[in-house]
Amino acid sequence: MQTSRRHFLQRAAACSAGFAGLQSVLAAERSSPPLLQRATSGYGPLRPDPLGLIALPDGFTSQVISRAGETMSDGLLVPGKHDGMGAMPGPDGLTIIVRNHEISPGHVTVGPFDAVATDTGIPDGIDQARIFDPGTKEGPFAGPSRGGCTTLVYDTKSGNGDGELRTHALSLVGTEHNCAGGITPRNTWITCEESVTGPADELGRTRLHGWCFEVPATVHPELVDPRPIKPMGRFNHEAVAVDPGTGIVYMTEDRNDGVLFRYLPSDPADLHSGGPLQALAIAGTPQADLRNWNDAPTVSPGDSFETTWIDVDDIESPDDSLRYQAFDKGAARFARGEGMWFGEGSVYFACTTGGTARHGQIWRYVIPSSQGNGTDQSRGGTLHLFIEPNDASIIEHADNLTIAPWGDLIVCEDGLEEQYLLGVTPDGAVYKFGLNLMNQSEFAGATFSPDGTTLFVNIQNPGLTLAITGPWESRRA
C-alpha cells in the first residue's frame, strides 16, 4: 500500500522533528545529575474527573470507547486485559486501531467466547482454522487460548466533535499474553506474544507460543489466518518498531536478562520471507550489562555507545534460550525491554526495571545513515541512554510508549501505586499528563490517531479504551 507507506514516513518524520536537536542535549546531560530531570509544567496541573476515570490537564477530555465484556459488532465479547495498540489510517479519514489483549491461562478476565457455552469452548460459526491454539478439551485451562487482538474503527470527526466508534470485532484469537507490538508501513500491526508456554507446561496448550503475528488494518475486521512469523524468533516478545526505509524490524524482550533483537527480512513486504535475526552488542565491550544493577553504574544518562549486531542461531528456540545464545556471543544485556517506537532515524525503547533503583530507563538507538541488507549486516548505530531518573516520583516502570506528533514521548507507567501517563520532552524532562483515578492498574497502548487529534490509551483492568482530545497545539510550537 503506497499510501500507507507514505503516511507512515510522514508521521515518523513529524513525530521525530522535536528530537532533531537531541544530540547536543545528550552531550549536555553528561554534567546533569539524573535527579535534576524533574517534572516540568507540560500541559499544566491535572484536574479531577467527575467520572473518576482519569485526571487530565485543563481543556482535555476523555471518553470510554470500548469496555471489556461489551458485545462487539461480530457478536463476540470485548476481551479483557487491554494492552498495546496501534492506530493506522483508514479510508475517508477513519482511524483503525488494532488492540492487544494480554490474557494467559488462569487470568480472571473476560474472553471473547465467554458468552457462548459449547463443548469445545468455540462458538458455532467460528472457523477453527482461524484459532491458533484451540487448547486441550479437558483440565482447568481447557479450550482455546484467549489472547489475541481486536480491531476498532473510529471516526475522530463525528459524535459532536468527540469522536465515535463505528465498529469493533475480533481479529486474532488463540494466542497467548499479547502484550505490545508495532505498526508497519503496510498498514498492519505486528502483535507479540509475551509468553513461551507450550504443550509441556500443563496449561492446556497444544502449540508452542512465543511468536509474532501480523494483523491488517481494515474497516471490515475479521479473524485473520494466525500464521506465526517464525523468522522473527521465539522468545518473550514485547514490542517492535519497523524502519520504513529498510524494513528492518527491531524487537524488545521482556526479561530481566533480555537482549535487543532485530530481524532483516529478505523481503520487507513479507515478514515470513526469512533473513538474519540479530542481537545488539556494544562495540569493543562484549557482554555489556546496561541494567545498572549495582552500586557503581556502568552507564549514565547521556552516555553514547557505538554498536554492532551479532547473528543468532536456533531462532525457533524450543528451550527459550535465544537471549543466552546472544549474550554468550557478546550481546548487551537489558532489564525488561518493553515499549518501543520508531521516529525518523531512531528507535526509542523502555527498559522497565533498568537503573540503579530499578524504576526504569528509556534508551534511544540512532540508526546509521547507510543501513541495508547487504554486506554491512553487522554494522550498528549509536545507542544513547536517554533518561534514567531513579526516582519513582518522576517515572516508575516505564512501559508502553509512543511519540506525539510534536515530538514528546508519551509513556505509560506500570508501577506499584499511582499510575501516570507521562510526557518526556526532547531535553529529557518529564511531566505528568494523566493519572488513573479508577484503580492502580497500568496504562497501556498509548497511540495517536493519524490526524493527531486523539490519543488512545487503555486502562488494562478492568479493560477500558479511552479517547483523549484537547489543546495539543499548545505544545506543538
> 290-324, pLDDT tens digit by residue?
999 987 778 999 999 999 999 999 999 999 999 99
Report pLDDT for 229. Answer: 98
Rounded to two decimals, the pTM is 0.92
Residue 448 has pLDDT above 90, yes or no: yes
Task: Say what the pLDDT of residue 475 is.
Answer: 81
Whether the predicted pLDDT of 243 surpasses 60: yes
Across 340-356, average pLDDT: 95
Residue 360, pLDDT > 80, answer yes
**What pLDDT score does 116 carry?**
72
Q: Is 329 helix (H, G, I), strand (E, B) or coil?
A: coil
Beta strands in 259-345 (DSSP E): 261-263, 277-282, 304-311, 337-343
Overall residue count recorded for the chain in this entry: 477
Higher confidence at residue 24 or residue 185?
185
pLDDT category at 27 given cuts 50, 70, 90 is very low
pLDDT at position 26 is 30
Percentage of the chain exceeding pLDDT 90: 80
| Cα gap 267→273, rounded to integer Å | 6
pLDDT at 30 over 80: no
User: pLDDT-based confidence at 139, cuts 50/70/90?
Assistant: confident
Question: How much is the pLDDT for 22?
Answer: 33
User: What is the reported pLDDT for 115?
Assistant: 79
User: Which is more confidently placed, 264 or 9?
Assistant: 264
Amino acid at 31: S
For residues 362-369, average pLDDT:
95
Q: What is the pLDDT of residue 459?
A: 98
Average pLDDT, integer, range 54-65: 97
Contact between residue 156 and residue 95 where contact means Cβ atoms under 8 Å apart: yes
Residue 11's pLDDT band, with cuts at 50, 70 and 90, is low
Task: Tell me what pLDDT residue 158 has.
Answer: 85
CA 119 to chain CA centroid, Å, is: 35
Q: Tell me the mean pLDDT in the region 210-220.
A: 98
* pLDDT at residue 371 greater than cutoff 60: no
More confident residue, 56 or 40: 56
> Phi and psi for 284 in degrees, rounded to 5?
80, -5
Q: How many CA atoms lie within 13 A of 374 on its CB side?
A: 4
Percent of the chain at pLDDT > 70 equals: 88
Averaged pLDDT, 168-194: 97
- pLDDT over 80 (residue 159): no
Task: Tell me the per-residue pLDDT of 386-425, one tens digit each, with 9 for 90 and over.
Answer: 999 999 999 999 999 999 999 999 999 998 889 999 999 9
Mean pLDDT of the residues in the chain = 90
pLDDT at position 19 is: 42
d(CA 384, CA 389): 15
pLDDT at 140: 87
pLDDT band at residue 40 using 50, 70 and 90 as cut-offs: low
Cell of 94: 477513519
Closest CA to 466 of 113, 99, 41, 71: 99
Please indicate whether residue 475 or residue 257 has the higher confidence score (pLDDT).
257
Given a cut of 50, is residue 215 above it in pLDDT?
Answer: yes
Q: Is 355 helix (H, G, I), strand (E, B) or coil?
A: coil
For the cut 60, the answer to whether the pLDDT of residue 10 exceeds it is: no
Cα 409 to chain centroid, rounded: 13
Least confident of 10-19, 178-187, 349-358: 10-19
Q: Where are the domains of the chain?
A: 68-228
What pLDDT does residue 359 have? 96
DSSP codes, 91-106: GGG-EEEEEEE---TT
- pLDDT, tens only, 101-123: 999 998 999 999 987 766 667 88
Instruction: State in Å, rounded, how far the first CA of the chain is from the last one.
Output: 32
Taking 90 as the threshold, does the pLDDT of residue 138 lie above it? no
Q: What is the per-residue pLDDT for 395?
A: 96
Residue 95, pLDDT score: 98
